[in-house]
Structure 1
Amino acid sequence: MDGVAVTAFFQTLVQGLLTGGLYALIGVGLSLIFGVMNVINFAHGDFLAIGMFISLALFRAVGLDPYLSLLVAAPAGFALGFVIQRFVLSRLGDRLHEGSMLATLGLGLIISNSLLLGFGAQPQNINVAYATKTVQFAGVQVSIPLLVAGLGTLAVIAALNALLYRTELGRAIRATAQNPLGAELQGVKTSTIQAIVFGLGVAFAAIAGVLLMPLLYAYPTVGENYTTKAFIVTVLGGLGNLPGAVVGGLVLGTIESLGAFYINNNYRDAYGLVAFLLVLLLKPEGLFGRTVKRV
C-alpha cells in the first residue's frame, strides 16, 4: 500500500471508531435496561430522536449551542424514562417481558407522531460554524462534530462505569440485575432501581441524539434506524453485557465505515446487518455473551 492508501485507510478507520463510539452509547443504554429489567425497549431510537429535537428546539428558540443543550436533554431523558417505567412498565406485572414489547412499540409510535405534529415531516438541521470543520492528526482529517461526539461518548461511558462500580447506587443496580429477590432481602428497593435504570437508558439515548445533531438531519422517524443499530450492537456484544455493547458499537461502526469506503457507500447499513446475521449464526449468545445450558 502506498502512502495515500495507508492514510485513507486510517482516516476511514478513525471515522468508523468514532461513529462506533456513538453506536456504543446507544447500545449501552439498551443493554443496561435489558440487563437489569430483562426488558427489550423498542422505543429506544425514538428517545434518541427526542434528544435531537430538544437540541433543535433550544437552538431555534434561544440560540443555544447544541452541545450545551445536553444540560437539558439528559435530565429530561432521565425524567421521561423514570416516569415511563413507574407509570407504564411497572403496571404490567407478571406480563412485563411480553407486554413491554407492545408497550414500548406503542410509546415509539406516540413519540414519532408527536414529533411529526410538533415539528413537521421535513428533515431539519442546525447550522453551526464548526459543523463542516475538521482537525488533522498525523495526516488524518477528522470532523470536529464527530470527534466531539466520540469524546463525549467516552466521557459518558466512563461516568457510567464509575457509577456502577464506585457508588452505593451502582452496587444496588448490580445486585438488582444479578438477583432481584436477594437484593430486596438486603433492603434494596428494586422498583426504584428499575425506574432509575430505565431513566439512565433513555438519558443515554437522548445524549446520543444531541451529539448526532450537528452531524445529521432530524426528522420524526429518525429513531427507527437507530433502534435497529442498538439491537445489532447489543446482539454483537451479548444482551445485557455492557462492555460487550461498547465493543459491539465499535465493531459496527468500523465495519460500516470500511465497507462504505472499500465496497459501496449505498449499502452502508447492510454491512452491519450482515455482521449481525453472522454472529447470530455462529455465536448467537454474542461475542461476549455466555451460553446457558438448559436442563
Structure 2
Amino acid sequence: MTDLSILFPSILNGLTTGAVYALIALGLTLIYGVLHIINFAHGAALMLALYAVYWLKEAAGIDPYLALPLVVPGMFVLGYAMQRLVINRASHGKDENILLVTLGLSIVMENLALLFFKSDTRTIETAYTLTTVPINIGFAQAMIALPKLVAFGGALVASAVLMLIVGRTDLGRAIRAVAKEKHGAKLMGIDVEHVYAMSFGIGLACLGAAACFLLPAYYVNPQVGNGFVLVAFTIVVLGGMGSFSGALLGGLLIGVVESLGGLLLGESLGQIGIFLLFIAVLLFRPQGLFGAKA
C-alpha cells in the first residue's frame, strides 16, 4: 500500500492540475452547450494563449499573472471574431461544416506557430518558479510548488466567475435561452448570432486565463494544446455534456486520477487511468457522472 506521505502530495498535485483542466473544459462546455458543436480549434487556441503569455514575458517583461488583464480580453476578442467572421460565415448553418472549419482553423493556428516560433519547446523563468509552499493537514504534509497553488486558486476563481456570468447576468440568461431553444430565443428578440459569438469569445477567454496560470510551471510549443484538449473533451463527456458543475468536478477528478495513475504506473502511463474511467462511465452511465438522462 502506498505510504500516506507519498499519496497526499500526489492527490494535492492532481487537484492543482485538475483545476486548470476544469477551466479549459468549462470553455469547451460553454461552446458546446450553446452552439452544440465540438470545437476542434480549442487546443490550438490554448496554444496561442500560451505563446501570448510567453511573448509578453520575454518581450515586455510582464509577469504571467499580471498578463491576465491583457491575455483574457485578447482571447475573448479573438474568439468573438473567429465565430462571427469565420465560423458563422463559412459553416452556412451546417454542423458538419462547423466541425471542418474549426479543424481547419486548428491546422492554420498550429502552422502559424511553427512559422513564427519554430518547433522548439519554450519556458519562462520567474522569481517564484521553484518556490514551494508547505501544506499540513493532520498527520499528512506536502510541499506544493507555488505556481501550482496559484493555478489551483486562480482556476477555481475564474470558474466561479464564469458560472456567475452564466447563472446571474442578462447575458447568461440569453446564453441559457439560446442553448435551450434558439428559435424561441430569437422570437423573443435575442440576437442569437451575437450570443453565439459571445459564448465562443468567453470560451476562449477561459483559455487565456488557463494559459496565464499554466505557463509559470509549464512549457509551450506548437503542439502543446493537443494533450490538453484531449483531456478536456474527456472531462466534458465525463461530467455530462453541457454541465458546468460536471466539468468543474470532472476536471478535479481527472486530475487526481491522472496523478495517482502516474504514481502507481509511472508518469508515462499516468493517463491510462483517465481513459479507463472514461470507458467505464460510457458503459455504465453514458449521460456522464453529473448529466441528466435525455
Give the match for residue 181 of structure 2.
179
Q: Tell me, yes or no, if the aligned pair for 1:54 and 1:69 is still in contact at 8 Å.
A: no
Matches within 5 A, 1:85-104: 85-91=83-89, 92-95=91-94, 97-104=95-102
The within-5 A match list for 1:201-240 is 201-240=203-242
Residue correspondences, number? 289
Name the residue aligned to 2:165: 163
**Contact 2:261 2:272 (C-alpha < 8 Å) held by counterparts:** no
- The runs of at least 4 aligned residues of structure 1 exceeding 3 Å deviation read none
* Counterpart secondary structure, 2:189: coil
1:274 is matched with 276
Distance in 1, Cα, partners of 2:44 & 2:211: 9
Equivalent position to 2:27, from 15, 29, 33: 29
Alignment-derived partner of residue 254 in structure 1: 256
Q: After superposition, what is the alpha-carbon deviation per residue over 1:104-133, rounded to whole angstroms, capped at 9, x for unaligned?
A: 111111111111111111100001121111
What is the one-letter code of the residue matched to 2:237?
V
Deviates more, 1:191-200 or 1:4-13: 4-13
**Structure 2 regions of 5+ residues with no counterpart?**
none
Corresponding residue of 1:44: 42
User: What is the root-mean-square deviation of aligned Cα atoms in Å?
Assistant: 1.3
**2:71 corresponding residue in structure 1:** 73
> TM-score normalized by structure 2?
0.95
Instruction: Give percent identity, aligned residues only.
Output: 39
Match of 1:145 in 2: 147
Q: Which amino acid aligns with 2:93?
A: D
In 2, are the aligned partners of 1:244 and 1:288 still within 8 Å (CA)?
A: yes
Partner of 1:136, secondary structure, is strand
SS at match of 1:94: coil
Q: Counterparts of 1:118 and 1:159 in 2: how far apart (Å)?
A: 34
In the alignment, is the contact (CA less than 8 A) between 2:78 and 2:201 conserved in 1? yes
Q: TM-score, normalised by structure 1?
A: 0.95
Letter in 1 for 2:263: F
SS in structure 2 at match of 1:200: helix
Find the aligned partners of 1:125 and 1:214 in 2 and give their Cα distance: 8
Q: Is the 8 A contact 1:234 1:245 kept in 2?
A: yes
User: Partner amino acid for 1:241?
Assistant: S
How far, CA to CA, are the matches of 1:219 and 1:268 in structure 2?
21
Distance 1:278 1:58 in 2: 42
Q: CA deviation at 1:45?
A: 1.0
Matched ranges for 1:49-64 at <5 A:
49-64=47-62
Give the deviation of 1:206 after TM superposition: 2.2
CA shift for structure 1 position 94: 3.0
Q: Equivalents in 2 of 1:267, 1:35: separation in Å?
A: 32
Deviations 1:73-92 (A, max 9, x none): 11111001101110122122
> For 2:44 and 2:58, how far apart are their aligned partners in 1?
21
Report the more deviating stretch, 264-273 or 245-254.
264-273
2:261 touches 2:271 (CA, 8 Å); kept in 1? no
Q: Per-residue displacement from partner, 1:200-256 (whole Å, max 9, x unpaired)?
A: 011111221221111111101111111101101101101111111111101110100
SS in 1 for 2:119: coil
